[in-house]
């Protein structure tokens, strides 16, 4: 069923019954914000009409066969016509103090009218129209009053021009208004995720006042056929994605322009990671069980041949991947049915090691929290998300959240984001505890890769332990919320000032004597 809407331009209001909740009557400004519920009683709204001069809304309730009225502020709700007069009202309109309506059953499909001052004075205009009648409108110049300031040069607005009754108000279909109030600028941070045939963006907060996405959906029938892995370069304003149907790794601007192929014939690439210091792309390949790399130019073109950094065994199945620019290491998940692991190696391929090999079944994804120096990973078989140190120690399960099938992970600020195949959603939760679980996008058949885009997502240089050892005398580590945590060597105790002292009170003296 389609939504029924009526717009009243001078006051920038829109009455709306949305398909997902046909029992609500709501009002909002034309930019989709300031949304409020006017009526939530059990109703089946079939149509609404506005009396702008008196700020009143007329509507049909098909469930009770009534025509009713309510003020813009939700007051003075009343029934005007009931089932003694109506049979199945399906549509109505209001013009010059006269109410017009269509009835799909009365007189075998009819149109009637009555003055609002005397609704008992009903005039039958048409009958025998059939039961399929659905909508009625009146088109007249007299329905439009005043002048449209948005008609000239779009009111000076770059994107959308809305009239608030006195002047033009500029809003943005995507992005946010600039300081000049006319042009639009992009958002600094947002989430992007793959829907196979398209890549979409969401606001990180999931705030309902942000009705539109940060960017339009990215689509391209030639380049984008089955997008899985995602990564990004904020400096270049580029999104990278792997397409397993074409077998390529591609790049595109955040706004969906300038699709280009970086490398071709790479097979099933499901994990993708951009390394900012070396300006390189790393990825996992299921076909030949390798971790690969290609260097890029500043113009985001391929500047080298594809290099296999790590060659795994034929039974290994690498999938998720992340890179640590400061530590010069690459991390990946391994789906090996008999020996599932999370592994890492230096960018050179040396010192490959499994950092997690127990209590693990299907490590689908992983991401690095660079500011806190923590690794997060999701197990699609054990239905869990874990956090640990970069070396795999101090493992913690996010106990307050139970993912059903986490496919890909991203992290930014205080939150962790993931795509879930069972929930068919993009989900956000507190990264420390898993609390405040919320689906920020629902009803997605197969949500794939996900990235949290910001200018400091990959910032590993803000590690507080890198500056004067974090104020610690001996060992400096970071907590999960990126705060310094000092510790001491075995046999020594940490003082409140961050310094260490020995628990051994024995004093060692030399054998020399005064002579």
Compute CA distances 72 → 29, 179, 334, 403, whole Å: 12, 32, 58, 42
Instruction: Give me the pLDDT at residue 281, please.
Output: 97
Taking CA atoms, 273 is separated from 323, 365, 377, 380, 423, in Å, by 6, 12, 15, 20, 25
Q: Which residue has the tokens 């999701």?
A: 378
- DSSP 8-state code for residue 34: S
Say what the pLDDT of residue 403 is.
76
Tokens, residue 286 = 């299921």
CA–CA distance, 217 with 68 (Å, rounded to integer): 40
User: Pairing between strand 190-194 and 199-202?
Assistant: antiparallel
Extract the tokens encoding 68.
């009713």
> What's the CA gap between 396 and 119, in Å, rounded?
69
pLDDT at residue 508, as a whole number = 47
Contact yes or no for 406/422 (Cβ under 8 A): no
pLDDT for position 30: 73
Superfamily of domain 23-143: TolB, C-terminal domain (2.120.10.30)
Give the residue among 302, 259, 253, 258 at the shortest CA–CA distance from 279. 302
Q: Which two tokens stand for residue 385?
A: 């998300």
By the 8 A CB rule, do 22 and 1 touch? yes
Q: Are strands 248-253 and 269-275 parallel, antiparallel or unpaired?
A: unpaired
Strand 160-163 and strand 123-126: the pairing is unpaired
Pick the CATH number of 190-453 from 3.40.605.10, 3.30.420.40, 3.40.50.620, 2.120.10.30: 2.120.10.30
Backbone angles phi, psi at 30, to 5 degrees: -65, -20
The phi and psi torsions of 465 (rounded to 5 degrees) equal -75, -15
Scanning 214-324, the segments in alpha helix (DSSP H) are none
- 108 φ/ψ angles, rounded to the nearest 5 degrees: 55, 45
Residue 90 and residue 2 in contact, taking contact as beta carbons nearer than 8 Å = no
Which alpha helices (DSSP H) does 308-408 contain, by range?
A: none
Task: Name 478's Cβ contacts closer than 8 Å, sequence gap at least 6.
Answer: 372, 373, 374, 463, 464, 465, 484, 485
Asked if the 153-185 domain carries CATH number 3.30.565.10, the reply is no
> Which has the closest alpha carbon to 387: 485, 463, 459, 480?
480
Do 465-502 and 153-185 have the same topology in CATH?
A: yes
Reduce the DSSP state of residue 461 to 3 states and report it: coil
Q: Return the domain boundaries, the chain.
A: 23-143, 153-185, 190-453, 465-502
- What integer pLDDT is reported at residue 23 of this predicted model? 72
Supply the pLDDT for residue 44.
83
Instruction: Please state whether beta strands 307-311 and 290-295 pair in parallel, antiparallel, or not at all (unpaired).
Output: antiparallel
Pull the structure tokens for residue 66.
Answer: 């009534």
Q: Which among 345, 376, 382, 378 is positioned nearest to 363, based on CA atoms?
A: 378
Give the distance, in angstroms, between the CA of residue 107 and the centroid of all CA atoms in the same chain.
50
The bridge status of strand 176-177 relative to strand 168-171 is unpaired
Q: Give the residue carrying structure tokens 């208004």.
A: 177
- In terms of Cβ atoms closer than 10 Å to its own Cβ (0-12, 13-18, 19+), residue 498 is middle
Q: How far apart are CA 286 and CA 291, in angstroms?
A: 9
Prediction pTM value = 0.79
* Span between the terminal Cα atoms of the chain, in Å: 106
Average pLDDT along the chain, 515 residues, taken 10 residues at a time: 42 43 74 79 84 88 88 90 89 92 91 92 91 88 78 91 81 90 92 96 74 90 95 96 95 96 94 96 93 95 92 94 96 95 97 96 95 95 94 90 87 95 93 90 94 92 90 91 90 83 59 44
Q: How many helices (H) and strands (E) does the chain have?
A: 0, 43
Question: Could you say which DSSP state residue 197 is in?
Answer: S
For residue 332, the model assigns a pLDDT of: 98
At residue 454, φ and ψ (nearest 5 deg) are -165, 165
Distance, CA of 291 to chain centre: 29
Distance from C-alpha of 382 to C-alpha of 54, rounded to nearest angstrom: 60
For 434, other C-beta atoms within 10 Å of its C-beta total 20
Question: What CATH fold (topology level) applies to the domain 465-502?
Answer: Laminin (2.10.25)
- CA 214, CA 228: separation in Å to the nearest integer? 21
Q: What is the 3-state secondary structure (H, E, C) of 239-251?
A: EEEEECCCCEEEE
């Amino acid at each position: 069923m389609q939504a029924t809407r009526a717009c009243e331009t001078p006051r920038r209001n829109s009455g709306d019954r949305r398909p997902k909740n046909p029992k609500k009557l709501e009002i909002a400004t034309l930019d989709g914000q300031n949304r409020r519920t006017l009526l939530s009683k059990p109703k089946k709204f079939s149509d609404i009409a506005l009396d702008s001069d008196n700020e009143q809304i007329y509507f049909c309730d098909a469930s009770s066969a009534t025509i009713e009225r309510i003020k813009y502020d939700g007051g003075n709700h009343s029934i005007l016509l009931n089932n003694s007069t109506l049979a199945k009202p399906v549509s109505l309109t209001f013009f010059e103090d006269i109410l017009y309506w269509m009835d799909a059953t009365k007189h075998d499909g009819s149109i009637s009218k009555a003055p609002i001052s005397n609704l008992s004075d009903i005039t039958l205009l048409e009958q025998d129209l059939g039961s399929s009648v659905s909508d009625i409108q009146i088109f007249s110049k007299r329905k439009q009053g005043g002048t449209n300031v948005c008609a000239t040069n779009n009111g000076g607005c770059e994107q959308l021009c809305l009239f608030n009754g006195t002047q033009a108000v500029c809003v943005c279909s995507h992005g946010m208004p600039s300081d000049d109030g006319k042009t639009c600028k992009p958002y600094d941070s947002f989430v992007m995720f793959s829907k196979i045939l398209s890549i979409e963006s969401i606001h990180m907060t999931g705030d309902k006042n942000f009705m539109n996405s940060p960017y339009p959906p990215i689509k391209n029938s030639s380049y984008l056929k089955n997008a899985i892995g995602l990564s990004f370069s904020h400096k270049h304003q580029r999104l990278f994605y792997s397409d397993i149907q074409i077998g390529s790794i591609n790049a595109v601007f955040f706004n969906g322009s300038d699709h280009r192929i970086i490398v071709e014939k790479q097979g099933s690439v499901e994990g993708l990671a951009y390394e900012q210091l070396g300006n390189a792309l790393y990825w996992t390949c299921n076909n030949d069980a390798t971790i690969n790399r290609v260097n890029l130019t500043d113009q985001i073109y391929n500047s080298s041949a594809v290099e296999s950094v790590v060659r795994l065994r034929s039974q290994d199945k690498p999938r998720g991947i992340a890179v640590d620019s400061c530590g010069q290491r690459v991390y990946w998940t391994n789906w090996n049915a008999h020996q599932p692991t999370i592994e890492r190696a230096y960018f050179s391929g040396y010192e490959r090691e499994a950092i997690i090999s127990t209590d693990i079944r299907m490590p689908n994804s992983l991401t690095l929290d660079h500011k806190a120096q923590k690794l997060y990973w999701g197990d699609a078989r054990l239905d869990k998300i874990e956090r640990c140190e970069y070396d795999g120690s101090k493992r913690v399960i996010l106990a307050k959240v139970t993912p059903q099938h986490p496919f890909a992970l991203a992290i930014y600020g205080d939150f962790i984001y993931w795509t879930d195949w069972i929930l068919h959603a993009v989900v956000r939760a507190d990264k420390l505890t898993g609390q405040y679980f919320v689906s920020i996008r629902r009803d997605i058949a197969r949500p794939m890769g996900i990235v949290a885009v910001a200018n400091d997502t990959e910032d590993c240089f803000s590690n507080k332990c890198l500056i004067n050892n974090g104020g610690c005398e001996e060992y400096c580590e970071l907590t999960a919320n990126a705060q310094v945590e000092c510790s001491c060597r075995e046999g020594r105790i940490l003082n409140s000032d961050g310094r260490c002292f020995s628990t051994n009170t024995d004093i060692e003296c030399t054998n020399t004597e005064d002579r």
